[in-house]
Amino acid sequence: MVIVIGRVRCQPAEREALEGLLATMQERSRLEAGCISYGFYQSIEDDTEYVAVEEWESQNALDRHFQQPHLIEFSAGLAKTVSAAPTVAFHEVAGTTSPGA
């Protein structure tokens, strides 16, 4: 499994435009093969900061995601709305356990 954590900030005047981009990206990405979960969440400390949390079945699934037309459109729109370059971290998970399992 691959987990992706991204952060992005916008100017207050661009918040509505950014939220539209995030909603579309989230909706389309959740339909992709290999997507376990995909969500954008607004920071409780800064209403112009959003955090992406994505879970992908494999690196191959994530690589396919990067080739999707909606990701290319999203990146172009993002460049117009953000106030600073987004940060992204990729985490490869070898295994997961749950308490009591």
Alpha carbons 51 and 74: distance in angstroms, whole number:
15
Q: pLDDT (tens digit, 9 = 90+) per residue, 22-62?
A: 999 999 999 999 999 999 999 999 999 999 999 999 999 99
Q: pLDDT (tens digit, 9 = 90+) per residue, 9-29?
A: 999 999 999 999 999 999 999
Is the separation of the CB atoms in 21 and 74 below 8 Å?
A: yes
| Structural domains present in the chain | 2-92 (3.30.70.100)
Work out the burial of residue 21: count CB atoms within 10 Å of its CB; fewer than 13 is exposed, 13-18 middle, 19 or more buried: buried
**Within 13 Å, how many C-alpha atoms sit on residue 22's CB side?**
25
